[in-house]
């Protein structure tokens, strides 16, 4: 059934010069592809973050209750901007952009994401990158140059405010 | 010995048709099952002697012709009188991984283009006796780069009493569902609202058992029960706690031999912790020429989240070492109380084997979601034994 003699399985082997010529031709074709219309693009369909937009939160009220304990974290949206709130100390909540600088995935959606209280680092659960309080990556594939966008937070131990 | 090796090699050459790696379309351009060339009856990964001989032939040139024979000086992939089969797969990609976002200056920030080592998987299979074998593989790059639900290793004992009878695999296995694609980025297996989150991870395994049965040349049946730990890690919304997962797949393999036409059509189901995933797959191919593949996956998970994804993929073999491929996918999700998710993807590219056991895959990828559009060129490479 498969011995279709009209369609020989293997083409004739080529020799070194032919091989290099073909490699060159194919590599050349691959190299000019990006030039055909400049087809690489990135566009956002959402509105840009609103500078100065704020979010008030209370750790006793849903959906911010996970922030009642050190190590807890919550995903929030501030006028379309995806933000991550992390309780890092009795009187400290940090706010970061939810997009990890490694692969720009939503860190809150990764089941293994957590605040490592002992090490004092936020862990992106997608590929286990670790971030210090200033947002800079200290371990994992996002290090050494990756940095989380950080937003200003005021917090009194119970209530707080994030400002973009 | 030499003679049967040559005959086997020739037979495999005819059987495998034009491709570099374990791809679903290979069964359609060759009219053979995955298990003809792979140790795993699902296909992919470690190749058996047939798979080895076929792939050692397919390439734009041979390693000898370009003076690099010393890097490819293997007559087979077996030892201990054929009891032990060995191999490896090394795969990587250079791509912009992730999504664009708004920067603090109001400009769109693109994800950086990075090299991602995906897989470096040595694998072994040992034939204990005529009906019992053991297979294992490990991916050390899992510790460098992995996604939720991906397993660092798999391995199983396979009891295969005779051809035509059911075989049983016991161990860390992936339950069969739909088509086993080698591309890890398919929308088909992801949630369009959280694309980094796989619904059915492509390289995962959980402990359990699967029965694979090919009673005739036109029918195959698979049924599995696994303990869904890694599947829960992949999508905790679908499976809230480690629970049993049951899956089943039925595939018909009609052929029109005189026209060199091969096809398959089948359905799959997977249930776990109140979640249901259903799938349908269909493919038609002409020997040594090309294929058309379609697949749809529908899921309903806890919280009434529903996702429907569809894929259509076409390929054409220009040469045995050069294949054109294009794919369209669309995925939509709904969940009460939440905004709908939506993503469309187009991929066009080449599967190019400059040398046997070495593939380059330049691709153009267009991904349009509700939040962003990202179009980019990517390059995958694959070296294997
Ligand atoms: S996306 Fe965060 S570590 Fe990769």
Give a yes or no: residue A31 inside a domain: yes
Structural tokens at position B44:
């992919």
Which chain B residues touch A109 with a CB distance below 8 Å?
A: 194, 196-197
Instruction: Specify whether A118 is located in the same domain as A84.
Output: yes
- What's residue B19's pLDDT? 31
Looking at per-residue pLDDT, the higher value among A155 and A112 belongs to: A155
Instruction: Specify whether A67 is located in the same domain as A147.
Output: yes
Question: What is the pLDDT averaged over residues B328-354?
Answer: 93
What residue of B is the nearest CA neighbor of A26? B352
Give a yes or no: residue A150 inside a domain: yes
- What's residue B20's pLDDT? 31
The yes/no answer to whether this complex scores an ipTM above 0.90 is no
Instruction: Specify whether A146 is located in the same domain as A101.
Output: yes
Domain count, chain A: 2
Residue pair B29/A9 in contact (Cβ under 8 Å)? The answer is no
Domain that holds residue B214: 2-384
Instruction: Specify whether A35 is located in the same domain as A69.
Output: no
Largest Cα separation within chain A, whole Å, is 81
Q: What angle do CA B146, B152, B158 make, to 5 degrees?
A: 140
Q: What CATH number does the domain containing B290 carry?
A: 2.40.160.10
How distant, in Å, are the alpha carbons of A115, A124, A141, B379 from that of A100? Answer: 14, 7, 10, 23
Looking at per-residue pLDDT, the higher value among B200 and B74 belongs to: B200
Instruction: Specify whether A18 is located in the same domain as A78.
Output: no
Question: Count of CB atoms within 10 A of residue A56's CB?
Answer: 10
Could you say which of A13, A41, A44 has the minimum Cβ distance to residue B61? A13
Residue with tokens 């797959």: B281
Q: Which residues contact B73 (CB under 8 A, 6 or more apart)?
A: none
Give a yes or no: residue A46 inside a domain: no
Q: Which residues contact B162 (CB under 8 A, 6 or more apart)?
A: B131
| Cα–Cα distance, B213 to B210 (Å, whole number) | 10
- Alpha helix locations (H) across chain B? 2-16, 24-30, 49-55, 230-234
- Going by CA atoms, what residue is nearest to atom 3 of ligand 1? A127
| Cα–Cα distance, B262 to B380 (Å, whole number) | 28
Instruction: Specify whether A142 is located in the same domain as A110.
Output: yes
What residue of A is the nearest CA neighbor of B289? A7
Backbone phi, then psi, for B68, in 5-degree steps?
Answer: -115, 30
Give a yes or no: residue A48 inside a domain: no
CA B90 to chain centre: 14
| Per-residue pLDDT reduced to its tens digit, B136-167 | 999 998 887 677 788 999 999 999 998 889 99
Instruction: Specify whether A76 is located in the same domain as A132.
Output: yes
Q: How far is the CA of A122 from the centre of ligand 1 (A)?
A: 12
The secondary structure of B267-330 as a DSSP string is EEEEEETTEEEEEEEEEEEETTTEEEEEEEEEEEEGGGEEEEEEEEEEEEEEETTEEEEEEEEE
Could you say which of B13, B97, B236 has the minimum Cβ distance to residue A103? B97
What residue of B is the nearest CA neighbor of A8? B288
Q: How far is the CA of A128 from the centre of ligand 1 (A)?
A: 6
Q: How confident is the model at residue B15 (pLDDT cuts 50, 70, 90)?
A: very low
Q: Is the pLDDT assigned to residue B74 strictly greater than 80?
A: no
- What's residue A18's pLDDT? 65
Instruction: Specify whether A60 is located in the same domain as A30.
Output: no
Q: Is the pLDDT assigned to residue B209 strictly greater than 80?
A: yes
Q: What CATH number does the domain containing A121 carry?
A: 2.102.10.10
Residue contact A111–B148, C-beta within 8 A: yes
Instruction: Specify whether A63 is located in the same domain as A132.
Output: yes
Among A7, A33, A108, A150, the strongest candidate for a mutation testing the B interface, having the largest count of B CBs within 10 A, is A7
Structural tokens at position A111:
């089941």
Residue contact A19–B354, C-beta within 8 A: yes
Structural tokens at position B294:
């379609």
Question: What is the pLDDT averaged over residues B26-43?
Answer: 79
B302: left (phi over 0), alpha (psi -120 to 50) or beta: beta
Instruction: Specify whether A78 is located in the same domain as A111.
Output: yes
Which chain B residues touch A13 with a CB distance below 8 Å?
A: 61-62, 65
What's chain B's average pLDDT? 87
Instruction: Specify whether A107 is located in the same domain as A59.
Output: yes
Q: Is the pLDDT assigned to residue B85 strictly greater than 90?
A: yes
Which chain B residues touch A126 with a CB distance below 8 Å?
A: 147-148, 196
Q: Is the pLDDT assigned to residue A153 strictly greater than 90?
A: yes
Structural tokens at position A106:
């939503």
A140: left (phi over 0), alpha (psi -120 to 50) or beta: left
Instruction: Specify whether A28 is located in the same domain as A104.
Output: no
| Burial of B78 per CB tally in 10 Å (0-12, 13-18, 19+) | middle
Among B59, B99, B101, the strongest candidate for a mutation testing the A interface, having the largest count of A CBs within 10 A, is B101
Domain count, chain B: 1
- What's residue B372's pLDDT? 93
| Per-residue pLDDT reduced to its tens digit, B181-192 | 888 789 998 888
Q: How far is the CA of B210 from the centre of ligand 1 (A)?
A: 33
pTM across the whole model: 0.80
| Per-residue pLDDT reduced to its tens digit, A89-143 | 999 999 999 988 887 778 998 878 999 999 999 999 887 899 999 999 999 878 8
- What's residue B155's pLDDT? 95
Domain that holds residue A21: 4-41
Q: Is the pLDDT assigned to residue B312 strictly greater than 90?
A: yes
Which chain B residues touch A3 with a CB distance below 8 Å?
A: 14
- What's residue A103's pLDDT? 72
Among B98, B333, B381, the strongest candidate for a mutation testing the A interface, having the largest count of A CBs within 10 A, is B98
- Picking from A95-99, B61-65, B209-213, which range would have the lowest pLDDT averaged per residue? B61-65
- What's residue A17's pLDDT? 65
């Amino acid at each position: 059934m498969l011995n279709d003699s009209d369609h020989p399985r293997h083409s004739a082997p080529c020799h070194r010069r032919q091989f290099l010529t073909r490699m060159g031709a194919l590599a050349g074709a691959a190299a000019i592809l990006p030039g055909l219309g400049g087809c690489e693009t990135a566009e956002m369909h959402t509105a840009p973050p609103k500078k100065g937009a704020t979010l008030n939160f209370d750790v006793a009220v849903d959906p911010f209750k996970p922030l009642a304990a050190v190590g807890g974290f919550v995903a929030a949206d501030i006028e379309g901007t995806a933000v991550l709130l992390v309780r890092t100390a009795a009187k400290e909540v940090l706010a970061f952009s939810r997009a990890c600088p490694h692969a720009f995935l939503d860190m809150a959606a990764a089941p293994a994401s957590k605040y490592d209280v002992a090490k004092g680092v936020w862990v992106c659960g997608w590929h286990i990158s670790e971030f210090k309080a200033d947002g800079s990556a200290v371990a994992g594939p996002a290090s050494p140059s990756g940095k989380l966008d950080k937003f200003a937070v005021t917090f009194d131990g119970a209530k707080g405010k994030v400002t973009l | 010995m030499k003679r049967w090796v040559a005959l086997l090699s020739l037979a495999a050459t005819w059987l495998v048709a034009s491709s570099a790696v374990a791809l679903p379309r290979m069964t359609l351009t060759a009219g053979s099952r995955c298990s003809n060339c792979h140790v795993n009856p699902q296909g992919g990964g470690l190749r058996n002697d047939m798979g080895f001989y076929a792939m050692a032939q397919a390439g734009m040139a041979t390693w000898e012709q370009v003076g690099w024979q010393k890097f490819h000086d293997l007559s087979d992939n077996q030892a201990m009188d054929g009891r032990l089969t060995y191999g490896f797969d090394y795969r990587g990609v250079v791509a912009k991984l992730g999504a664009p976002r708004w920067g603090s200056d109001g400009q769109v920030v693109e994800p950086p283009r990075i090299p991602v080592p995906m897989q470096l998987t040595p694998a072994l299979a040992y034939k204990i006796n005529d009906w019992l074998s053991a297979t294992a593989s490990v991916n050390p790059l899992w510790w460098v780069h992995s996604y939720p639900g991906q397993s660092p290793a798999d391995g199983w004992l396979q009891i295969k009493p005779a051809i035509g009878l059911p075989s049983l695999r016991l161990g860390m296995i992936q339950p069969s569902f739909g088509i086993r694609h080698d591309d890890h980025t398919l929308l088909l297996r992801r949630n369009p609202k959280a694309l980094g989150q796989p619904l059915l991870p492509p390289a995962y395994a959980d402990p359990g058992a699967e029965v694979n049965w090919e009673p005739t040349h036109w029918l195959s049946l698979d049924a599995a029960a696994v303990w869904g730990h890694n599947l829960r890690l992949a999508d905790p919304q679908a499976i809230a706690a480690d629970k049993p997962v049951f899956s089943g797949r039925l595939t018909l393999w009609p052929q029109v031999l005189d026209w060199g036409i091969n096809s398959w059509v089948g359905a799959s189901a997977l249930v776990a912790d109140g979640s249901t995933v259903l799938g349908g797959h269909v493919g038609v191919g002409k020997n040594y020429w090309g294929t058309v593949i379609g697949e749809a996956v529908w899921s309903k998970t806890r919280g009434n989240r529903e996702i429907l994804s569809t894929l259509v993929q076409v390929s054409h073999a220009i040469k045995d070492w050069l294949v054109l491929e294009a794919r369209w996918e669309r995925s939509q999700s709904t969940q009460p109380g939440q905004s709908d998710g939506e993503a469309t993807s187009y991929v066009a590219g080449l599967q190019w084997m400059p040398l046997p056991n070495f593939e380059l895959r330049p691709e153009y990828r267009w991904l349009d979601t509700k939040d962003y559009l990202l179009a980019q060129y990517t390059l995958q490479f694959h070296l294997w034994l």
